[in-house]
């Protein structure tokens, strides 16, 4: 028993040492997140639409760069992909610095900002998927769930730390401090990644990205449906609280994040023990219940409980369905599978804003959470179907 515990701790330590690069990459994403819309609107004098585009263009770049990032991971290795991504993050810091010094020339400053955001979005797909591939290559495919879970903790934790950190830096030092900090963080990341042992590049037949996308499409669809709840809470919870006259909307986001991370730390090993589909089914059921609580909440306290339950439920959806998605392809196409699967959360979060916003405009803010609960419920039904199909496949293989 002690040997197994020691081995598990050693594997976790290896995984954490790799997903550290995801943390650094997403810290660079988080630092400007809460600052840029206000800067574009107030300092540069552009409208709210342009301010929103500055944020969303990064997600678009991530979405479009997934196939290229996946090909780099599978053919050149995940370590190289992570290092390219970190270098891209650093380059985005250079454009951020240029933007700060060009504030008196609004159009030029905005152009630098857009280029930097495009570079950062492309870098995100390399760092995030590359770290997962690197981690799996180092600790083995049997620990895929652990790698994906810790990678998620690193990314969401970095965003939670980065956003308030960026606000504090700009308030006390100025916009230039964000550019400098991003460049320094990337330099640290590259210096830590350089001496680390790379995961071996697996030889084998490389499938076209569209073919890989087709194989993981059902699993990605379940992820996309479950992600709508997260996107709704992250985007609209402040407006929902305001419409009800409640205080402490920020606490709702904190509780969501704390529940999310706690569930991954406490129950991440369940995926290997009982299977990804079973975990996804339970998690989507819990998330649906939490979103229904938010819809029906008569007071802020029950809304907080609903947000916490939603975060707890959503936490393991990505790794649970991700394990099953990666198993659909050979090891030689693992990077493409991770990239194709991750594409669904990019797409889901990209469409949640306008889609759920339209629901709120037509039926009121509370209806957003009923819509999100319905989406999570559809994800639950899809996961049940995939689980039954997988069981039939195993029974046929056994026969």
Alpha carbon dihedral 151, 153, 157, 158, in 10-degree steps, equals 0
pTM above 0.85, yes or no: no
Last residue of one domain, picked from the residues 134, 163, 196: 196
Residues 294 and 398 in one domain: yes
- 206: exposed, middle or buried (C-beta count within 10 Å: 0-12, 13-18, 19+)? middle
Pick out the chain residues at pLDDT < 50: 1-6
User: What is the extent of the structural domain holding 271?
Assistant: 204-399
pLDDT at residue number 48: 62
- For 333, other C-beta atoms within 10 Å of its C-beta total 24
Residues 332 and 385 in one domain: yes
Give the whole-angstrom CA distance, residue 376 versus residue 381: 9
Give the whole-angstrom CA distance, residue 32 versus residue 169: 10
pLDDT at residue number 387: 94
- DSSP-H helix ranges across the chain: 2-33, 36-38, 48-76, 78-101, 106-139, 144-172, 176-193, 209-244, 249-267, 270-274, 276-296, 300-314, 317-326, 334-363, 367-398
Give the whole-angstrom CA distance, residue 56 versus residue 203: 36
Q: Two tokens at 284?
A: 């989507």
8 A C-beta contact, residue 326 and residue 341: yes
pLDDT at residue number 95: 94
Residues 354 and 216 in one domain: yes
pLDDT at residue number 3: 44
Give the whole-angstrom CA distance, residue 383 versus residue 366: 26
Q: Two tokens at 109?
A: 């400053």
Residues 78 and 140 in one domain: yes
8 A C-beta contact, residue 252 and residue 304: yes
pLDDT at residue number 397: 67
pLDDT tens digits, residue range 187-223? 999 999 999 988 887 777 778 888 999 999 999 999 9
Residues 15 and 146 in one domain: yes
Q: Two tokens at 376?
A: 């999570």
For residue 275, give the CATH number of its domain.
1.20.1250.20
253 Cβ contact list (under 8 Å, min separation 6)? 233, 234, 237, 307
Residues 392 and 324 in one domain: yes
Maximum Cα interatomic distance, the chain, rounded to a whole number of Å: 73
Give the whole-angstrom CA distance, residue 144 versus residue 138: 10
Name the one residue in this structure whose structure tokens are 């071996």.
200
pLDDT at residue number 6: 44
pLDDT at residue number 183: 94
- 272 phi/psi in degrees, rounded to 5: -70, -30
Q: Two tokens at 329?
A: 């392809």
Q: What is the 3-state secondary structure (H, E, C) of 122-150?
A: HHHHHHHHHHHHHHHHHHCHHHHHHHHHH
Last residue of one domain, picked from the residues 196, 220, 244: 196
Total domains in the chain come to 2
| Cα atoms found within 13 Å of the Cα of residue 184, Cβ hemisphere only | 7
pLDDT at residue number 360: 84
pLDDT at residue number 313: 94
Quote the distance between the C-alpha of residue 369 and its chain's center. 21
pLDDT at residue number 221: 95
Last residue of one domain, picked from the residues 132, 166, 196: 196
Residues 147 and 256 in one domain: no
Residues 215 and 146 in one domain: no
- 205: exposed, middle or buried (C-beta count within 10 Å: 0-12, 13-18, 19+)? exposed
pLDDT at residue number 317: 94
């Amino acid at each position: 028993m002690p040997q197994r515990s020691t081995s598990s701790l050693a594997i976790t330590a290896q995984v954490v040492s790799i997903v550290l690069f995801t943390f650094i990459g997403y810290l660079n994403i988080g630092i400007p997140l809460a600052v840029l819309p206000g800067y574009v609107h107030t300092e540069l004098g552009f409208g709210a639409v342009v301010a929103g585009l500055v944020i969303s263009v990064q997600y678009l770049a991530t979405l479009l760069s997934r196939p290229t990032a996946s090909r780099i991971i599978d053919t050149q290795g995940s370590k190289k992909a992570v290092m390219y991504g970190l270098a891209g993050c650093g380059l985005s810091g250079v454009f951020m610095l240029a933007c700060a010094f060009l504030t008196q020339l609004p159009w030029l400053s905005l152009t630098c900002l857009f280029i930097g955001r495009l570079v950062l979005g492309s870098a995100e797909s390399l760092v995030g998927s590359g770290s997962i591939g690197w981690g799996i290559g180092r600790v083995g495919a049997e620990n895929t769930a652990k790698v994906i879970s810790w990678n998620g903790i690193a990314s969401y934790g970095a965003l939670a730390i980065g956003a308030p950190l960026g606000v504090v830096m700009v308030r006390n030092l100025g916009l230039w401090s964000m550019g400098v900090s991003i460049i320094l963080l990337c330099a640290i990341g590259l210096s830590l990644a350089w001496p680390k042992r790379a995961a071996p590049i697996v030889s084998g037949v490389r499938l076209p990205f569209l073919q890989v996308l087709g194989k993981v499409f059902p699993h990605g669809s379940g992820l996309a449906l479950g992600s709508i709840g997260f996107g709704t809470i992250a985007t609209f919870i402040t407006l929902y609280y305001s419409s009800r006259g409640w205080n402490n909307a920020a606490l709702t986001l904190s509780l969501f994040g704390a529940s999310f991370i706690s569930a991954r730390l406490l129950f991440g090993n369940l995926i290997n023990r009982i299977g990804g589909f079973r975990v996804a089914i339970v998690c989507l059921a819990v998330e649906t219940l939490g979103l229904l609580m938010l819809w029906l909440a008569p007071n802020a306290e029950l809304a907080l409980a609903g947000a916490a339950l939603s975060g707890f439920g959503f936490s393991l959806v990505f790794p649970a369905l991700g394990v099953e998605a990666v198993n659909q392809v050979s090891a030689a196409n693992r990077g493409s599978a991770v990239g194709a699967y991750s594409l669904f959360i990019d797409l889901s979060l990209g469409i949640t804003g306008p889609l759920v916003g339209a629901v709120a405009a037509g039926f009121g803010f509370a209806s957003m959470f009923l819509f999100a609960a319905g989406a999570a419920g559809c994800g639950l039904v899809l996961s049940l179907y995939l689980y039954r199909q997988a069981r039939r496949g195993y029974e046929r293989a056994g026969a």
